[in-house]
Amino acid sequence: MTQTLNTTNHDRDIAGLKYVYPVISRRAGGLSIGINFNPNNACNWRCIYCQVPELQRGNAPEMDFALLEQELRFFLDYVRHGDFFEQFNVEIHQRVIKDIAISGNGEPTSLKDFDKAVRLIGEIATESGVFPASKFVLISNGSLLHQTTVQAGLTELARYHGELWFKLDSATEQGRKLVNNTGQSQQKLLAHLKLAASLCPTKLQTCMLHYGQAWSDSEKQAYLALLREVRDSDIALQQIMLYSIARQSFQPEAGKLEKMSLEEMNAFAADIKALGYDVSVAS
């Protein structure tokens, strides 16, 4: 049976593989080949908009590197030389690999041998002819950057001209507690952001939604104040990426989440641009 791949279908099992899955990404603007280091649905945060069912607190399990290599080599060949696009009804203008993204069902940097996995993906994608034409992306909450393997992984990512999409859904400790269920301090956030930007090109990835005090006027002002502090501290950010919820959350708060309008996000994007940042908005 033919399936349709679109921006609302991010089923990690759609290709029948353990680590590799395809998505049509709003932010990438086409086909993104996802790499899931967390098939156990474990994460050290619990974001209220997370679409992972049966999410649990924890780390990525041990990686089967032989299987990862086998799946990625197979899938890249399937997309480039097989009938993948026809089988999944991908629209003609989206029939290009925009990126390989380390993302998945939890925090990928919690993988024990994170740097080894980044290096392996980079080597395979280069040998397959996917890099450097396509991007190499890591989507992370940035909370584990104090670990040496994570820092080494970011160095590897930069070696393959990759970029880190650093999650920042609130500029306040209270906001991150509400949205991400984390006790991350402001000091730790800034330290990790500075370290990330020094190791690898870094973009901020921010989900805007309405839930309780999330993205109230005071939260917006705190976010702008943080960006001023980042700018004045010479922390180089490549871009601020704003988006809102598009898929079903599987968290207890799901029924109370409200998507932010494109108009409201665009208005906030204008405030960010006024600070000198490049900004993208995905509805």
In a domain, 129, yes or no: yes
**Structural domain containing residue 142:** 20-282
In a domain, 5, yes or no: no
In a domain, 3, yes or no: no
Question: What CATH number should be reported for the domain holding residue 44?
Answer: 3.20.20.70
In a domain, 15, yes or no: no
In a domain, 11, yes or no: no
Q: What is the DSSP string of 50-94?
A: ---TT-EES------HHHHHHHHHHHHHHHHHSSHHHHTT--GGG
pLDDT at 96: 87
pLDDT at 16: 84
In a domain, 7, yes or no: no
Which residue positions in the chain have pLDDT lower than 50? Answer: 1, 6-11
**Count of CB atoms situated within 10 Å of the CB of 269:** 18
pLDDT at 70: 97
What is the count of structural domains for the chain? 1
